[in-house]
Amino acid sequence: MLAHGEKELPFEACGLLSGSGEMIKTIWKAVNNKRKMNSFEINEEQVTLLLTKIEEKNECLVGIYHSHPTAPPVPSREDICFAYPDQVYFIISYAKRKPIVKCYRMKQGKVFPVKIIFYD
């Protein structure tokens, strides 16, 4: 996920995360249709295709990730506006030398931080 975000710089990278329960097992890179430095969009065909692949692996959608090439790892106004209330969003920031990953749920314009636990 970090490598994908770095590769797409200076544009935003995005993708889906799947696994079981709240545990992420697979990262699915997506193409940012907007190819912009401050927003992202995954088209519907891509989402449908990835969700089919996730299902074939017997996994569930756990989260959605995207990068912030120059902004801090906090949801932008657009992120908050377009967020699905039941999804978990990961944001990777490259604003500092070392990338930072943060995780949030966004509901009705409100942002709730989600703790990430790393396993080897």
Residues that bind Zn ion (CB under 5 A): 76, 79
Tell me which residue has its CB nearest to Zn ion: 79
* Shortest distance, position 42 Cβ to Zn ion, whole Å: 13
C-beta atoms surrounding 66 within 10 Å: 23
* Shortest distance, position 76 Cβ to Zn ion, whole Å: 4
* Shortest distance, position 9 Cβ to Zn ion, whole Å: 14
Q: Find where tokens 């070392």 sit.
A: 98
- In this complex, which beta carbon is closest to Zn ion, that of residue 41 or of residue 53? 41
- In this complex, which beta carbon is closest to Zn ion, that of residue 76 or of residue 87? 76
For the chain, the C-alpha Rg in angstroms (whole number) is: 13
* Shortest distance, position 116 Cβ to Zn ion, whole Å: 17
Tokens of 43: 């088209």
- In this complex, which beta carbon is closest to Zn ion, that of residue 53 or of residue 107? 107
- In this complex, which beta carbon is closest to Zn ion, that of residue 59 or of residue 83? 83
CA distance 104 to 97: 22
Chain Cα centroid distance, residue 79: 10
CA distance 54 to 73: 26
